[in-house]
């Protein structure tokens, strides 16, 4: 049997930079930044010609400029190649996400403060680009997670970019998901070149106002670099799960959850922090057994060896402190007092109890699985309808209302040495 070693520490033996690998995945190297800058520069300079060259270089397939956009014929053909059960599952997921997102949108709210009326309204962005990873795997769920909130917000133009396989095709399920969600344009482009095309446009692709969606370290770096010119959602890089558990947790379930995270790719992060030494030992043992015998075992084993870990703590306080230091994308809490811990935890998404694994949130809960990674959960939130909207305050004041604040405005204006601010008020009387 293959030996699998997941890094294991106690809270007392934990090195100060224990989560440094997680940050390294996100921050990347100078050479990577230079590579992505070159790609972006080439796309800005040569447009479609550069895109075609990069598709051939990175996706190992040749496309004509005319074939970059998925055609109506390709959309119809994709429906014929998927099963009724697959279509039903996509429609189910779309409905779940749509229901949740619609509940997030508040009706216009208005307050009145002594003659001053203030109304807050949401206006949709006019265009959005959604990046959907692909190539080796298909992620129609990412289409739904990125497009549905944009549709609920009322975005007028939604573009999807996704890399092709070696035959020059986008996965049929990604195409169908794009169609049922109402995507306006789908392009066969991946990687940093897709982000550059969405940000700056080419002869074929018009630029968008905002770019959203997860991707590789190249995609994440490209989003960061173009963010000075176009809005982005968040630095959503390789996926993470952290599990907080006590002696009441089932070690087999925890092992399955860590393995399910590790199968995303060799740069995925899966960790357990527990107050139970026995649980830690059992999870380590079960991981070794399962990872060598399950599907995609080679990728899972490599991921767990590189970025898998188990940490044992003396108490819940230590667990919470370490968890918040890590600030994971997904945080599972399987303890006897899980609900009580939530107010103190920092994470992109918190899942409580033994029946709330990450795959539930990936496919069925209606919550969004485009989440901040690499400790960015400390300052970013899950993708949602508000990410596709502009919030605007509309103020209308009566003469009586302006009279009531007149004296305070005068004092404040002179405090800041802006006398004409007050004169603009006073002139109205």
- Residues designated catalytic: 329-330
The Cα 421–Cα 406 span in angstroms is 11
Nearest Cα residue to 368 out of 167, 174, 149: 149
3-state secondary structure of 392: strand
> Per DSSP, what are the bridge partners of residue 390?
123
Q: DSSP labels for 282-337?
A: HHHHHHHHHHTTSTTHHHHHHHHHHHEEEEE-SSHHHHHHHHHHH--SEEEEESTT
The Cα 379–Cα 376 span in angstroms is 6
What totals of helices (H) and strands (E) does the chain contain, helices first?
A: 17, 14
**H/E element, 141:** helix 140-153
**H/E element, 255:** helix 251-262
Angle at 195 between CA 168 and CA 270, to 5 degrees: 90
Residues 6 or more apart whose Cβ sits within 8 Å of residue 173? 78, 82, 86, 90, 138, 140
Using only C-alpha atoms, what is the Rg of the chain? 25
Q: What is the DSSP letter of 71?
A: P
Q: DSSP labels for 195-235?
A: HHHHHH--SSS---SEEE----HHHHHHHHHHTTTSEE---
């Amino acid at each position: 049997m293959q030996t699998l070693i997941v890094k294991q520490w106690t809270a007392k033996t934990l090195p100060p930079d224990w989560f440094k690998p997680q940050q390294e995945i996100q921050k990347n190297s100078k050479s990577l930044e230079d590579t992505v800058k070159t790609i972006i520069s080439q796309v800005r300079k040569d447009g479609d010609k550069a895109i075609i060259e990069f598709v051939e270089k990175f996706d190992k397939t040749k496309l004509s400029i005319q074939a970059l956009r998925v055609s109506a014929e390709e959309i119809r053909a994709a429906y014929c190649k998927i099963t009724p059960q697959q279509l039903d599952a996509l429609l189910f997921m779309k409905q779940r996400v749509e229901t949740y997102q619609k509940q997030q949108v508040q009706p216009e709210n208005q307050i009145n403060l002594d003659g001053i009326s203030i109304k807050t309204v949401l206006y949709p962005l006019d265009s959005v680009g959604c990046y959907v990873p692909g190539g080796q795997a298909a992620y129609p769920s990412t289409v739904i997670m990125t497009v549905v909130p944009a549709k609920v917000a009322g975005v007028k133009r939604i573009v999807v970019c996704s890399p092709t396989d070696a035959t020059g095709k986008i996965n049929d399920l990604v195409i169908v998901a794009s169609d049922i969600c109402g995507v306006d344009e789908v392009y066969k482009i991946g990687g940093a070149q897709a982000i550059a095309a969405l940000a700056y446009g080419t002869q074929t692709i018009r630029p968008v106002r905002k770019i959203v969606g997860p991707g590789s370290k190249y995609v994440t770096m490209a989003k960061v670099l173009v963010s000075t010119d176009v809005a982005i959602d968040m630095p959503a890089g390789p996926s993470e799960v952290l599990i907080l558990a006590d002696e009441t947790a089932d070690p087999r379930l925890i092992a399955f959850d860590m393995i399910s995270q590790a199968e995303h790719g060799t740069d995925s992060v899966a960790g357990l922090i527990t107050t139970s030494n026995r649980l830690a030992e059992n999870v380590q043992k079960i991981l070794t057994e399962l990872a060598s015998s399950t599907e995609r075992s080679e990728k899972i084993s490599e991921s767990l060896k590189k970025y898998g870990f188990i940490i044992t703590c003396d108490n819940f306080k230590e667990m919470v402190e370490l968890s918040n230091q890590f600030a994971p994308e997904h945080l599972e809490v399987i303890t006897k007092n899980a609900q009580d811990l939530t107010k103190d935890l920092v994470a992109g998404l918190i899942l409580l109890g033994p029946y709330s694994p990450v795959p539930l949130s990936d496919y069925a809960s209606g919550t969004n699985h485009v989440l901040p990674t690499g400790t960015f959960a400390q300052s970013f939130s899950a993708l949602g309808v508000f990410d596709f909207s502009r919030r605007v305050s509309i103020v209308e004041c009566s003469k009586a209302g302006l009279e009531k604040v007149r004296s305070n405005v005068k004092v404040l204006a002179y405090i800041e040495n802006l006398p004409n601010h007050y004169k603009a008020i006073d002139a109205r009387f």
